[in-house]
Chains A and B, each alone.
Chain A
Amino acid sequence: EVQLVESGGGLVQPGRSLKLSCVASGFTFSNYGMNWIRQAPGKGLEWVAYISSGSSYIYYAETVKGRFTISRDNAKNTLYLQMTSLRSEDTALYYCARHGGTSHYFDYWGQGVMVTVSS
């Protein structure tokens, strides 16, 4: 069974940093691209970042480019999102999601981890 478990969220002040983790199990992690997707309270879904299976290709949404860094450790089956210069508008539930195929869809999602940016 595919499982994605996020951690590392919490309350952080504007301008500070936070690092999220997502531990994967039930599939060969090193064979799949991975994503971070967020959802602000009561709002829709916003894709944040993608990393290919071997970390060769990385893409970011314009709203986080230059502030967030996606990375992965295939030996640890873990995906990361380093978030810096956090803003109130980054407040959201952050999901990690497995990239499903060349058609670019997300076939498995974690339960999400909440990040609240507030003074």
Chain B
Amino acid sequence: DIQMTQSPTSLAASVGESVTITCLASEDIYGSLVWYQQKPGKSPQLLIYGATILEDGIPSRFSGSGSDTQYSLKINSLQPEDFASYYCQNGLSTLFTFGSGTKLEIK
């Protein structure tokens, strides 16, 4: 199985700041990396797929990058509604493993 190691586990930042969350795959996933946002008590929401492709309706302050085994989610100019948990997901193999998540909190 492909393992997804996400870091950091938690992160505190202020409104207006930029943050980066990283995801490391245990093997090359050829850009098949997906990011989700989950707010408390809500279902996850698709943010980015194919490592860099922004889902329709997602603000452009969200961006994804990476290749091979290393991927990142960057959020520019944090807004109050961005404080949530974020998960990466392996979109290559048929065992669709998630990272353990990053909780983004307000500083």
Contacts and interface: CB of A to CB of B under 8 A. Distances in A.
A45 B49 contact: no
Contacts, number: 60
Interface size class of chain A, counting residues whose CB lies under 8 Å from the partner chain: 20 to 34
A44 B96 CA distance: 14
Contact of B55 (A35, A107, A111): A107
A61 B97 CA distance: 9
Main secondary structure of the interface of B (DSSP, over half): loop
Interface residues of B, number: 24
Given A35-B96, A44-B87, A107-B55, A100 B49 contact: yes
Contact of A44 (B92, B95, B101): B101
Interface of B: 1, 32, 34, 36, 38, 43-46, 49-50, 55, 87, 89, 91-92, 94-101
